[in-house]
């Protein structure tokens, strides 16, 4: 009798373990099926990828049409590195954006100091024939409220957000995942250790700021308050190349406006570091106001200032029309 009592629970426990394994296997199969469904059905703008292509997507950006090739320049470095040398011509264009008065030689000295503190080359995964680099670019438009895009956004390999756009409290609409946060000093927020801090510099002070805000503290002045300290992983800091800003302004915006917004810079940046790009949360509301999804709109005449907002939005729509990205509009 004791043998039966001792043996029977062990037999039942084995069944429980087997049932647990079966359930886990079913769960994994379901997750794989959802992934395949997303790749195949939710990206109808793609076409079948030929084996041996530059990436494992059904269609790679490097296989784009003539319209895209006319605007896209793969040779422009998106990020500064220790080996990259900005031309004086591009510096002179850049210095006019916010009336930089310091010299080209001072800029070069500042960049040299930058790479004494941060990695000499940014971490950017290149294209591979066995992998598809998927990007979600999440704008800050109030149009995101009420959308179900959160889980779709989180599915991507790279999720790019900009400025202070929060996720907490808005998870269903904007998701929870962030791999890259694009900011300038006046819009910076604290980051966790896994998120890339991507700084868009509009003046030399912006490069000085990222060094000091992550070390001794920044104590300078700008057109609006700047945080003296921020939290971020120093190994994941990336600084956008001033020549890349010029390229976005000249090639993609045809020199409209004074300079591109961080939102549009994020879109073009994604075209350079990803194989498939999907864009969420861009555009004005039904009344033409460019409001943020986390704010109650007080200024009913809010526009885009120095940025060519309407033209940027039209360009995103044209990119979608040309099947160079997928643009999710309000539901």
What pLDDT, on the 0 to 100 scale, is given for residue 289? 76
3-class secondary structure, 238: strand
What pLDDT, on the 0 to 100 scale, is given for residue 62? 67
What pLDDT, on the 0 to 100 scale, is given for residue 35? 40
Give the CA distances from residue 266 to residues 52, 65, 75, 108, 331, in Å, rounded to whole numbers and listed in that order: 29, 21, 18, 25, 23
In a domain, 53, yes or no: no
What pLDDT, on the 0 to 100 scale, is given for residue 25? 40
| Alpha carbons 236 and 79: distance in angstroms, whole number | 12
What pLDDT, on the 0 to 100 scale, is given for residue 33? 41
CB 158 within 8 A of CB 174: no
In a domain, 47, yes or no: no
The catalytic position among 71, 196, 272, 307 is 307
| Alpha carbons 187 and 164: distance in angstroms, whole number | 6
CB 326 within 8 A of CB 318: no
Q: Which helix (H) or strand (E) holds 160?
A: strand 158-162
Asked if residue 144 and residue 197 are part of one domain, the reply reads yes
**Tokens 């300038």 label which residue?**
184
What does the buried/exposed string (b/e) look like for 222-250 if buried means 16 or more CB atoms within 10 Å of the residue's CB? Answer: beeebeeebebeeebbbbbbbbbbbbbbe
Asked if residue 137 and residue 267 are part of one domain, the reply reads yes
**Tokens 């800029």 label which residue?**
107
Give the CA distances from residue 1 to residues 5, 13, 15, in Å, rounded to whole numbers and listed in that order: 6, 19, 22
Per-residue tokens: 310: 């309407």
CB 255 within 8 A of CB 275: no
3-class secondary structure, 42: coil
Q: Left (φ > 0), alpha (ψ -120 to 50) or beta: where does 208 sit?
A: alpha
Asked if residue 187 and residue 103 are part of one domain, the reply reads yes
259 catalytic, yes or no?
yes
- Sequence-separated (6 or more) residues with CB below 8 Å from residue 287: 300
Q: What is the pLDDT of residues 101-133, one digit of tens each?
A: 999 999 999 999 999 999 999 989 988 999 999
Asked if residue 191 and residue 102 are part of one domain, the reply reads yes
In a domain, 180, yes or no: yes
- pTM for the model stands at 0.82
| Alpha carbons 90 and 320: distance in angstroms, whole number | 30
Which residues make beta-bridge pairs with 239?
199
Nearest to 177 by CA among 153, 198, 145: 153
Asked if residue 100 and residue 247 are part of one domain, the reply reads yes
In a domain, 56, yes or no: no
Asked if residue 217 and residue 160 are part of one domain, the reply reads yes
Asked if residue 211 and residue 161 are part of one domain, the reply reads yes
Per-residue tokens: 261: 């917004």
Asked if residue 316 and residue 210 are part of one domain, the reply reads yes
| Alpha carbons 283 and 280: distance in angstroms, whole number | 10
As a whole number of Å, the end-to-end CA separation of the chain is: 67
In a domain, 51, yes or no: no
What pLDDT, on the 0 to 100 scale, is given for residue 290? 77
Find the domain containing 17 and state its range: 1-41
Nearest to 325 by CA among 57, 144, 142, 143: 57
Q: For the chain, list residues with pLDDT below 70.
A: 1-52, 62-64, 286, 298-308, 331
In a domain, 55, yes or no: no
Q: Which helix (H) or strand (E) holds 183?
A: strand 180-183
307 catalytic, yes or no?
yes
The catalytic position among 247, 259, 282, 328 is 259
In a domain, 152, yes or no: yes
- CATH label of the domain that carries residue 248: 3.90.1480.20
Query: Domain count of the chain?
Result: 2
Asked if residue 6 and residue 147 are part of one domain, the reply reads no
Asked if residue 163 and residue 223 are part of one domain, the reply reads yes
Asked if residue 139 and residue 26 are part of one domain, the reply reads no
Asked if residue 112 and residue 7 are part of one domain, the reply reads no
Nearest to 241 by CA among 75, 72, 71: 75
Bridge-based pairing state of the strands 158-162 and 180-183:
parallel
In a domain, 32, yes or no: yes
């Amino acid at each position: 009798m004791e043998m039966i009592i001792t043996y029977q629970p062990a037999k039942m426990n084995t069944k429980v373990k087997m049932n647990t394994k079966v359930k886990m296997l079913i769960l994994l199969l379901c997750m794989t099926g959802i992934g395949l469904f997303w790749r195949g059905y939710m990206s109808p703008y793609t076409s079948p990828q030929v084996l041996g292509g530059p990436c494992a997507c059904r269609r790679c950006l490097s296989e784009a049409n003539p319209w895209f090739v006319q605007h896209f320049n793969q040779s422009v470095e998106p990020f500064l590195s220790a080996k990259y040398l900005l031309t004086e011509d591009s510096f002179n264009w850049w210095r006019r954006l916010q009336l930089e008065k310091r010299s080209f030689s001072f800029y070069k000295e500042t960049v040299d100091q930058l790479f004494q503190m941060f990695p000499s080359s940014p971490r950017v995964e290149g294209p591979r024939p066995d992998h598809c680099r998927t990007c979600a670019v999440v704008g800050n438009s109030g149009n995101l409220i009420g959308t179900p895009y959160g889980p779709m956004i989180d599915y991507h390999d790279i999720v790019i957000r900009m400025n202070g756009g929060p996720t907490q409290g808005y998870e269903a609409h904007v998701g929870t995942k962030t791999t890259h946060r694009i900011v300038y000093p006046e819009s910076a927020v604290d980051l966790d250790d896994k998120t890339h801090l991507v700084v868009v510099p509009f003046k030399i002070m912006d490069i000085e700021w990222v060094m000091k805000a992550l070390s001794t503290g920044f104590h300078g002045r700008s057109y609006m308050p700047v945080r003296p300290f921020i939290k971020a992983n120093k190994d994941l800091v990336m600084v956008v190349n001033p020549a890349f800003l010029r390229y976005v302004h000249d090639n993609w915006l045809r020199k409209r406006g004074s300079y591109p917004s961080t939102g549009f810079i994020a879109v073009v940046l994604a075209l350079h570091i990803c194989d498939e790009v999907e864009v969420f949360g861009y555009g004005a509301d039904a009344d033409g106001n460019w409001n943020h999804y986390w704010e109650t709109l007080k200024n009913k005449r809010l526009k885009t200032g120095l940025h060519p907002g309407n033209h940027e939005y039209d360009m995103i729509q044209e990119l979608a029309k040309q099947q160079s990205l997928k643009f999710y509009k309000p539901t």
